[in-house]
Amino acid sequence: MDTGYLKQQLRRYLEEVFSGQVVMDEHQGAAGLPLALRGLFTPLRLRVFDCAFTALLFVGGNLQQAMRYWQKPALLDSSLGDERRVLVMESLSKRQRNSCIEAGIPFVVPGAHLWLPFLGAVFDEQRGRKARLLQRQDQVQPTTQALLLRWHYHGTHGCDAPGAAAEVLGYTAMAMSRPFDEVAN
């Protein structure tokens, strides 16, 4: 697996989702990972807004084995420290996403899915039109989440109308009209 490409995709996706700069560095604890973990993960230090966490890029192998290691925090804490960790993968099946959520494992699939409960962010951008139409009315749409996160971390200045928000967040003006309606209701 090309981790350079995955790193680039991760940075681009997080910057797009959170409309802000993402600081990404190599993790100093990478050399201290046990050999079994080095074959599964490449760790990176990330900072989004004021929140620092470790992204573990899944480089291959058995996902179930990787999730078992995740459930043993002492093994990861000894080399990576005890900060928040996020699993980063090129793809996840629906079953794997549900398993990660049930196990409490935050994850990012660049360009497709994001579950970061410590940032209050959940995005699933690959659902079909039918799934969106059947969605419950009390759920907050991804564009609304992006707008609310932008307002929370940067204020409403320059993002107080659908057209301006669309330009800042990279959506079309039509796509931003629904989030403004949702927030108003």
Question: What pLDDT shows up at residue 74?
Answer: 74
Is there a single domain that holds both residue 164 and residue 90? no
Residue 84's domain comprises: 3-124
Is there a single domain that holds both residue 115 and residue 165? no
Task: Give the whole-angstrom CA distance, residue 106 versus residue 94.
Answer: 14
For 34-54, the pLDDT digits (tens) are: 777 777 888 888 988 888 888
Question: What pLDDT shows up at residue 129?
Answer: 39
Is there a single domain that holds both residue 168 and residue 98? no
Give alpha helix (H) positions in 35-154. 35-38, 63-70, 73-80, 94-103, 129-133, 142-154
Question: What pLDDT shows up at residue 109?
Answer: 92
For 43-85, the pLDDT digits (tens) are: 888 988 888 888 888 887 777 777 777 777 777 776 777 678 8
Last residue of a domain, one of 100, 124, 148: 124
Is there a single domain that holds both residue 141 and residue 85? no
Is there a single domain that holds both residue 29 and residue 62? yes
Is there a single domain that holds both residue 67 and residue 138? no
Is there a single domain that holds both residue 20 and residue 94? yes
Q: For 52, list phi and psi in degrees, rounded to 5.
A: -100, 140
Is there a single domain that holds both residue 133 and residue 169? yes
Is there a single domain that holds both residue 120 and residue 36? yes
For residues 111 and 123, is the Cβ–Cβ distance under 8 A? no
Last residue of a domain, one of 72, 104, 124: 124
Last residue of a domain, one of 77, 96, 124: 124
Asked if pLDDT for residue 162 goes beyond 60, the answer is yes
Is there a single domain that holds both residue 63 and residue 42? yes
Residue type for position 154: H
Question: What pLDDT shows up at residue 107?
Answer: 92
Indicate the pLDDT class of residue 132, thresholds 50, 70 and 90. Answer: very low
What is the number of structural domains in the chain?
Answer: 2
Is there a single domain that holds both residue 146 and residue 55? no
Question: What pLDDT shows up at residue 178?
Answer: 85
Buried b (16+ CB within 10 A) or exposed e, 26-57: ebebbeebeeebeebbbbbbbebeeeebbbbb
- What average pLDDT does the chain have? 80
Is there a single domain that holds both residue 70 and residue 154? no
How far CA 24 is from CA of 7, 153, 179, in Å, comes to 9, 19, 30
The angle, 0 to 180 degrees and rounded to 10, between the axes of the packed helices 3-18 and 142-154 is 80
Question: What pLDDT shows up at residue 134?
Answer: 40
* Three-point CA angle 84, 118, 147, nearest 5°: 135
3-state secondary structure of 19: coil
